Amino acid sequence: MFRAAEKTPDSRYYLSAHGERAVGPFPMTEVKWMIQCRHFSSDVLIRPENESFWISFRHHTLQATLGRTLSQIVTQLRRVGALINARRVKSASV
């Protein structure tokens, strides 16, 4: 659910800067490399290969980061809940 912004490692993306003709598709590793080398700005629009909507690379990475963070928080909360339940079971059996 939270990782909706992340595609599979072999996902490919089209890029479009300033409304120009789209180029690609490229794997995300190449997209990141092109942005790091400043061939494109981080405001470049990207679109997954089999989808029709465009999103800025910056927004895509923010979404992915927030998704990972929320996923980690939920995982920690589940672990705490499991520990609390284990203590309740243990104290109820004594």
3-state SS track over the chain: CHHHHCCCCCCEEEEECCCCCCEEEEEHHHHHHHHHCCCCCCCCEEEECCCCCCEEHHHHHHHHHHHHHHHHHHHHHHHHHHHHHHHHHHHHHC
Can you give the pTM of this predicted structure?
Answer: 0.65
Residue 3 has pLDDT above 70, yes or no: no
Split at pLDDT 50, 70, 90, the class of 76 is: very high
Domains of the chain, CATH where assigned = 8-93 (3.30.1490)
Residue 4 has pLDDT above 60, yes or no: no
Split at pLDDT 50, 70, 90, the class of 48 is: very high
